[in-house]
């Protein structure tokens, strides 16, 4: 289908060029004549599609002043009656027809002038449209794209859009297809390179972040290991401290028990001491009284019988009586000591020490 379209496009472009060749020649002749001479006042109006106003006014005046002879109707060829005087109406009809004819002539002349001026441009536009629509070699051609981008007028655009006719239609289509594919592949490659570059940058950033994260994780692991070591050391110290505290607590409890036992023993000893003091005081008081009585007795005995045998006899009696009393006192004290569960020898030593 593409070669047929290109061949038809070539035919259409040839027809357009053939049809516009007279207009181009006339436009070139008019352009040469205009460029050779000086510009006229009516050229602007002619190029705009109008007619010079002065010839039109003169023609209208000539048709108004001139009259046309009356003609008979086709239905009465042999009529002898004179025709009515309709010169005014006929003049108006003739003037209107002349005006219409003049307008037609002016329109034709204006159309010819417009075609002469715009023929080359119309031909260029036709060639450009045909080449753009039916020229497959343009699609995907970067040279054509660059020439079209750098074109500044219609001729440059048409020249840039002309396909290379040296290559066959099939080759042209294949080349255009390959150029389009190459262009799309290059665009995809550029996009892929951009994506690869961005992914490379992001991968490098992720590697840097990963390295920093790994360093932080390693440092945190070291800190955790150090903290675990400190925790284990503190646990060992705490266990040793707890053991020492338990030992001290046990020693304290033992000391408290000993203190309580010692306090109880001290209280019992104080009570026993008080009782023994009372007994000792009573014994001392009794012995003092006995000593006084003995002195009195000796004094009286000395006064009554002052001989040595008498004194010795009285002394022996007093000593025997004193021994008896002391024996009774000793028995009483031993009974009290046995009741209080005390050692008599210790009590004797305590009494002798005091």
Express each pLDDT in 88-129 by its tens digit.
544 444 577 777 777 777 787 777 777 777 766 766 666 666
Provide the number of structural domains found in the chain: 1
Express each pLDDT in 315-350 by its tens digit.
888 888 888 888 888 888 777 777 666 666 666 655
Residue 244 confidence (pLDDT) above 90? yes
| Residue 128 lies inside a defined structural domain of this protein | yes
- Range with the largest mean pLDDT of 71-75, 141-145, 158-162, 326-330: 326-330
Which residues are CB-neighbours of 159 under 8 A, at least 6 positions away?
Answer: 147, 151
What pLDDT shows up at residue 250? Answer: 93
- For the chain, percent of residues with pLDDT exceeding 90: 21
What pLDDT shows up at residue 245? Answer: 94
| Residue 294 lies inside a defined structural domain of this protein | no
| Residue 215 lies inside a defined structural domain of this protein | no
Instruction: Check: CB of residue 160 under 8 Å from CB of residue 132.
Output: no
Q: Is 2 exposed, middle or buried (0-12, 13-18, 19+ CB in 10 A)?
A: middle
C-beta atoms surrounding 151 within 10 Å:
15
Which tokens is 138 given? Answer: 């343009």
| Residue 210 lies inside a defined structural domain of this protein | no
Higher pLDDT, 172 or 178: 178
| Residue 25 lies inside a defined structural domain of this protein | yes
Mean pLDDT estimate for the chain? 69
Q: Residue 153 has what DSSP assignment?
A: S
Residue 1 confidence (pLDDT) above 50? no
Give first-to-last CA distance, the chain, whole Å: 151
What pLDDT shows up at residue 41? Answer: 37
| Residue 342 lies inside a defined structural domain of this protein | no
What pLDDT shows up at residue 82? Answer: 47
DSSP 243-254: HHHHHHHHHHHH
Higher pLDDT, 138 or 218: 218
| Residue 279 lies inside a defined structural domain of this protein | no
Express each pLDDT in 59-68 by its tens digit.
445 544 444 4
SS3 38: coil
Which tokens is 16 given? Answer: 């357009």
For residues 156-171, give the mean pLDDT.
Answer: 60
For residues 83-87, give the mean pLDDT.
Answer: 49
| Residue 121 lies inside a defined structural domain of this protein | yes
What range does the domain containing 145 cover?
Answer: 2-34+44-65+89-166
What pLDDT shows up at residue 161? Answer: 65
């Amino acid at each position: 289908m593409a070669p047929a379209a290109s061949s038809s496009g070539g035919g259409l472009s040839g027809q357009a060029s053939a049809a516009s060749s007279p207009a181009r020649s006339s436009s070139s002749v008019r352009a040469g004549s205009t460029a050779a001479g000086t510009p006229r006042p009516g050229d602007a109006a002619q190029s705009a599609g109008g007619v010079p106003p002065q010839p039109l006014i003169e023609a209208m005046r000539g048709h108004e002043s001139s009259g046309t002879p009356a003609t008979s109707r086709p239905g009465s060829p042999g009529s002898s009656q004179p025709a009515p005087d309709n010169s005014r109406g006929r003049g108006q009809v003739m003037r209107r027809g002349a005006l219409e004819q003049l307008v037609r002539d002016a329109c034709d002349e204006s159309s010819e002038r417009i075609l002469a001026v715009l023929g080359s441009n119309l031909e260029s536009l036709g060639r450009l449209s045909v080449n753009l629509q039916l020229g497959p070699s343009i699609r995907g051609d970067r040279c054509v794209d660059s020439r079209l981008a750098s074109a500044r007028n219609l001729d440059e655009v048409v020249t840039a859009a002309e396909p290379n006719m040296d290559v066959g239609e099939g080759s042209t289509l294949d080349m255009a297809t390959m150029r389009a594919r190459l262009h799309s592949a290059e665009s995809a490659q550029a996009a892929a390179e951009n994506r690869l570059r961005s992914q490379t940058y992001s991968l490098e950033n992720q590697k840097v972040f990963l390295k920093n994260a790994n360093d932080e994780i390693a440092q945190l692991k070291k800190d955790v290991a150090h903290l675990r070591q400190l925790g284990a050391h503190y646990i060992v110290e705490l266990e040793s401290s707890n053991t020492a505290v338990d030992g001290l607590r046990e020693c304290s409890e033992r000391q408290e028990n000993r203190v309580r036992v010692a306090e109880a023993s001290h209280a019992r000893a104080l009570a026993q001491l008080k009782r023994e003091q009372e007994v000792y005081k009573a014994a001392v008081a009794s012995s003092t009284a006995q000593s006084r009585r003995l002195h009195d007795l000796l004094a009286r005995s000395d006064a009554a019988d002052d001989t040595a045998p008498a004194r010795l006899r009285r002394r022996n009696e007093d000593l025997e009586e004193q021994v008896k009393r002391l024996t009774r006192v000793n028995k009483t004290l031993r009974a009290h000591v046995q009741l209080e569960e005390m050692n008599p020898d210790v009590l004797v030593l305590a009494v002798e020490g005091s």
